[in-house]
Amino acid sequence: MSDKERTTFVKYYAGTSGSKLAHLRSEGESSAVLSVWIDGAGAAGEFLDDNIHTPGVAHLLEHICASRIASIAEKNGWLFDASTNFSAVKYQVQSPKMDFEKASQCLFDALSSPKKFLSKRATEIERAANELLRAKNLDPARMFMDRTLHAIYNHPTFQYNNVGAEADILSITNKDILRFWSSKYREGSFVIALSIDRAREDLEHVFASPSMNKGKNADMSLVFRPTDIRWPTRRDGVLFQLAYPVSQPSNIEDYCKKQFIQHFMYIVIDEEVRRRTRNYGIIRNWQGHTGYLRDSYNFVARSHDAGKILERVCYSLERMARTGTPAALRARVKSEVNRPCNGVSSNLTFHQEILPQLSRYGAFVTDCEKVTFSKTVTKEDVKREAQNILEGPLVFCAEGTLKGLPSRRQVAGIFGRKSLSF
């Protein structure tokens, strides 16, 4: 089939998945689909917009970028589908035009080079958006809602104190939050999809368990839906995906294919995320705040807080795979992380018991710098663990909490580098 006979469909997804700002894939031989993912304020931004009447910056960026894409599509005779959430973009732009032009151009550049965009251009978008917010006398960290959930928990209009104290990234999956959003939107159930590129069969029994939808959790539908869309630069790993709200489709997989869920967040920790932290920046610490990366809802704490993230991931997987109470499971995981044993950290037990459980779910977890070994640490041990950081799909580096390996600089020296790039 010639190029002239091929039909190009441009699909516009206005949501919160900025990690996939541009993605090319083919459907059969007759068409090529250019899926453009634009950062959106999502449910969080809409909530604040409704209450304080401030235009969501991400929505404005969506509007401009979508307009540009529509223009290009029309010029080339492409079919442009902007049905998903596009009608929600209805704000008037009253801020300096240059900021929006710059930001939208950065977004638009992703169409031709997503990998280059992810590595170089996202900071320019963030800078332009921050300048825009400062021009409106708004706090960028508080108002740029697609960067952090912290503002949801702490904004005066969001009276939900039981999650505001710790800003636990997993607490947003609890039944109280689900009921809150369900009552606000008054449509359908919520979907929590754990999407993993590997070990899919191991996970199916988790989501098929009837215990996940009993009693007060009846309004929460747990669905396993393997993803068919990848990050341009991401390696296989664990991806937690929270989507809300959706009307009740008969087949959630078909629904997601036809119209991607509008509001969702990612919790992603992998080697690529850590590699980009210097470019995107991590804010604050774990207590009361959430680390972020600009290109998506990527939650990454500083290295000394990574153990707490690992605790939450362990807790989440344990909670799904077992029938014990969440409190008991959480306490057990905490004890493995924190309890000393014979004057030495119990992390050897932690690595022997907890990490293999994560491996069942396709997750590879390593603590490169500070792993406690049961034998004398050799140069090969260090090199192997360092290689895990450079190649592993899911990486936690709990700096200062474990003992046994040299410093990051020493590890880097084995590879002839001055430092590891994360």
- Mean pLDDT score of the chain: 33
Q: For the chain, what is the radius of gyration of the CA atoms?
A: 22
Produce one character per residue of 89-103: b if its CB has 16 or more CB atoms within 10 Å, e if not. Answer: beeeeeeeeebbebb
Q: What's the pLDDT tens digit per position in 71-89?
A: 444 554 444 444 333 222 2
What's the confidence (pLDDT) of residue 384?
52
The token duo for 165 is 């104290």
**What contacts 54, CB < 8 A, 6 or more positions away?**
48, 136, 138, 143
The token duo for 336 is 């493995």
What's the confidence (pLDDT) of residue 134?
52
Query: What is the pLDDT averaged over residues 31-46?
Result: 30
Highest mean pLDDT among 26-30, 120-124, 243-247, 346-350: 120-124
Q: Is the pLDDT of residue 380 over 50?
A: yes
Q: What's the pLDDT tens digit per position in 231-274?
A: 222 222 222 222 222 233 333 333 333 332 222 222 223 333 33
Taken in order 174, 179, 182, 188, is the CA torsion positive or negative?
A: positive
What gap in Å lies between CA 293 and CA 39, rounded to an integer? 12
Query: What is the pLDDT averaged over residues 85-98?
Result: 27
What's the confidence (pLDDT) of residue 247?
32
What's the confidence (pLDDT) of residue 251?
36
Higher-scoring residue by pLDDT: 362, 10: 10
Q: What's the pLDDT tens digit per position in 332-356?
A: 433 333 333 222 333 333 334 434 4
Type of residue at 24 = L
What's the confidence (pLDDT) of residue 131?
52
Q: What's the pLDDT tens digit per position in 283-335?
A: 222 222 222 222 222 222 222 233 343 344 444 433 433 433 333 333 443 33
pLDDT above 90 covers a percentage of the chain that reads 0
What's the confidence (pLDDT) of residue 127?
52
Q: Can you name the residues that pair with 191 across neighbouring β-strands?
A: 221, 243
For 15, 59, 85, 91, 126, the CA distances from 81, given in Å and listed in that order, are: 14, 17, 11, 20, 26
Listed by start position, the domains of the chain span 1-147, 274-284+301-414
Query: What is the pLDDT averaged over residues 8-29?
Result: 31
What's the confidence (pLDDT) of residue 330?
37
Q: What's the pLDDT tens digit per position in 130-158?
A: 454 455 444 433 332 222 222 222 322 22
What's the confidence (pLDDT) of residue 416?
43
What's the confidence (pLDDT) of residue 51?
27
Higher-scoring residue by pLDDT: 198, 417: 417
